[in-house]
Amino acid sequence: MNLFNPVNLFWLIPALGTVIVLWMLRLKRVDVMVPSLYLWRALLRENQANAPFQKLRRHLLLLLQLLAATLLILALAKPFVFGHTLTGRTFVILVDDSASMTATDIRPSRLEEAKSEAAQFIDHDLSGSDVATVISVSNKPVARLSFTSDKARLKQSLNDIQPTDTVADMPAAFTLAQSMIGNGGGAFIRIYSDGDYDADETRRVEQFSFGSAGVKIIPIGMPEPENVAITGMDSRRDSDTGANQVFVAFQQFGSRKYNGATLSLYMNDRLIDARPLAFDQGKQTETFSNKLLDGGGMVTAKLEGLTDDLAADNTASLVLAPPRKRKVLLVSQGNLFLENGLNLDSDVVVEEVAPADFETVGKGGAGYSMVVFDGYLPPTPLPPGNYLIVNAGSAQTPLTSITGSVDSPTLVDQNRTHPLMRFVDLSGLNLGKANQEKPANWAETLAETDSGTIIADGEHGGLRMVSVGFSLSDSDWPLRVSFPIFLTNCVDWLTAGSALGPSSPDTPAGAAASLTVPSGMENVTVVTPSGRKTMLATPNEGGTVVYDDTSEVGTYRVQGAKGYDHAIAVNLLNSTESNLTPQLHGNLDRAGVMTSTGSGGAHLRRIRNDLWPAVAGVAMLFLTLEWLIYHRRL
């Protein structure tokens, strides 16, 4: 026998002790003169004790009470035993709940079609001995219920799945399914999806092993859908004029002709430009310049005058901050790559000092929006502020102290959704040497090689920091286009002073958004594009809070006391998700292996048999018996 909550057995000590003490107590009686004792003989029996204590005597009622208390405490510990039962098949039903599944090439939507087909399978193909569960697959896969043979509950769990504008994490869903079925004996995975995964996810999906479980993918979607999508949006300030420029990339997936379609640009809901679209196969980019963009605010691009099969990618927004100068202090022995990269932004004023002059000429970083350390860190702890650290580390930084170096490490992964890595492609990066550093437990890894993390960021103790774990001279990164983009992203992210930030880029749907709020504000309220409100507690001293419920595209408002009102732009901007042509992934389909016991596809399944209901029932039986004996004696 096993116990699910063995700690509850400690209640035996006070429970049994209380019963024993009560039996030892005596209640002091008052002497009363009566003419006869005949009528009082029954009451003279020791049904109740006299004060203060008496010798504990063997008594049936005491035994029953102790047994009942023991069994009730044992029931709280939830005893159980493992056993096996003869069951039917086990099914895990995965329903793709990503943005592409909201496409309307199948009416009313692909998601509704997937739910309908899954419901038909439950009605017609599940036998009475089969059990199943449902997993909705968005950016955060969720098991909707435990295994059950109740068809009504299974279909209700399907109905509860609501559409999202996120990208499905199918490998995570596979991992969740595998954890639920164990080695897969007698289990079957049914995947209702359009199969629209990027190259990396496709590779991981097709290489995933379910053991002996059977896998079947049911493709959802028409073979020739039509879609036009905004696949990219960004802004940069012109280094010569200081004017804001907005770049919007769009692409047609299909061959339909859209006469009169336009790409329109709105600034704070005001139309400032509209351009007719002449569709060609492939990706196209439009560049917008307008003096209204220079003042900052919410800029939104919309595809108008067309009706396609997916609405989530027809709009995209980003927040432009009003222009302001940001002073950046570069602490270096001389690094032209950093100097030139930081000076590309006309809003950035770069001042450079040698490490020996940091405390004196550089005033220890006081008065600067951001400090860049190149191969150096001061011996004293860093004060609260914003820091980019290159080729250095300490206990305060996202990459901790350098313990050695590795020659020619190979890049294996990078975070492509973080604002710092927007449009930063590190593919093919050549590294001659990288430091051996470990990320702090509060840091987030942005890029890593086969020997460890090389780029990380994080916020801790009033510090907002980015660490690069190698010398720029030991790589070809400064010669790549991604390097100045990374520096610009660092300046924007590190110098963010509000929920807007100095130039707040979009947040991918489903990703966490960092909200920087001022001090003295107890909480803020986030209002989603559909009007749903969520209250978030904020630190009294101000700082960053994280909001991760970004499952729908659009503008999120962050509101607080004293007129605090800022915006977050959440977009899809994913060409893989916008390419609605179903991908079959036929190599996923394979038969499963049953742990058969002989007939009908039934198999032995290990189950947990709870004993606590029986134990509690016996305890109640003892209590009832004690009550009857007590009152019968009276």
* Position 169 pLDDT exceeds 80: yes
Which of residues 275 and 34 earns the better pLDDT score? 275
Query: 208 to each of 177, 191, 193, 577, how far by Cα in Å?
Result: 12, 14, 16, 21
Give the chain's mean pLDDT.
84
Is the pLDDT assigned to residue 477 strictly greater than 90? yes
Indicate if the pLDDT at residue 91 is higher than 60: yes
For residue 211, what are its two tokens? 């053991």
Q: What is the pLDDT of residue 310?
A: 96
The stretch 25-31 carries a mean pLDDT of 60
Residue 39: half-sphere exposure toward Cβ, Cα within 13 Å: 3
Across residues 595-601, what is the average pLDDT?
Answer: 38
H helix and E strand count, the chain: 11, 32
How sure is the predictor about 49, in pLDDT bands with cuts at 50, 70 and 90? Answer: very low
Listed in sequence order, the DSSP H helices in 41-150 are 41-44, 60-76, 110-125
Block residue for tokens 């890029």:
447
Q: Give mean pLDDT, residues 111-124.
A: 96
The pLDDT value given to residue 483: 95
Q: Say which CATH class 89-224+580-601 falls into.
A: alpha beta
Burial of 438 (0-12, 13-18, 19+ CB in 10 A): middle
Q: Which residues contact 516 (CB under 8 A, 6 or more apart)?
A: 496, 497, 498, 499, 501, 542, 543, 544
Report whether 553 contacts 315 (CB < 8 A): yes
pLDDT band with cut points at 50, 70 and 90 for residue 598 = very low
Could you give the CA distance from residue 37 to residue 39 in angstroms, rounded to a whole number? 6
Portion of the chain with pLDDT greater than 70, in percent: 85
467: confidence class by pLDDT, cuts 50, 70, 90? very high
Assigned fold of 326-494: Rossmann fold (3.40.50)
pLDDT per residue as tens digits for the range 282-306:
788 999 988 888 888 899 999 999 9
Measure the CA–CA gap between 583 and 75, rounded to whole angstroms.
52
Residue 410 class from Cβ within 10 Å (0-12 exposed, 13-18 middle, 19+ buried)? exposed
Whole-structure pTM value: 0.66
Residue 499 predicted with pLDDT over 50: no
CB 298 within 8 Å of CB 317: yes
| Structural Rg of the chain based on CA atoms | 34
Same fold? 89-224+580-601, 326-494: yes
Among the residue ranges 68-77, 466-475, 537-546, the one predicted with the least confidence is 537-546
- Using a 10 angstrom Cβ sphere, with 0-12 exposed, 13-18 middle and 19 or more buried, the burial of residue 78 is middle
182: Cα separation from own chain's centroid: 24
Q: Where are the domains of the chain?
A: 2-82+611-633, 89-224+580-601, 326-494
Is residue 245 pLDDT above 60, yes or no? yes
Query: Can you name the residues that pair with 285 across neighbouring β-strands?
Result: 249
Say if residue 546 is exposed, middle or buried (CB neighbours under 10 Å; 0-12, 13-18, 19+).
exposed
Give yes or no for residue 28 having a pLDDT over 60. Answer: no
Give me the count of residues in the chain.
634
Query: Coil, strand or helix: which one is 137?
Result: strand
Least confident range of 65-79, 111-125, 161-175: 65-79
Contacts of 258 (CB under 8 A, 6+ apart): 228, 277, 279, 305, 306
Q: Which residues contact 303 (CB under 8 A, 6 or more apart)?
A: 228, 229, 230, 250, 261, 262, 263, 264, 277, 314, 315
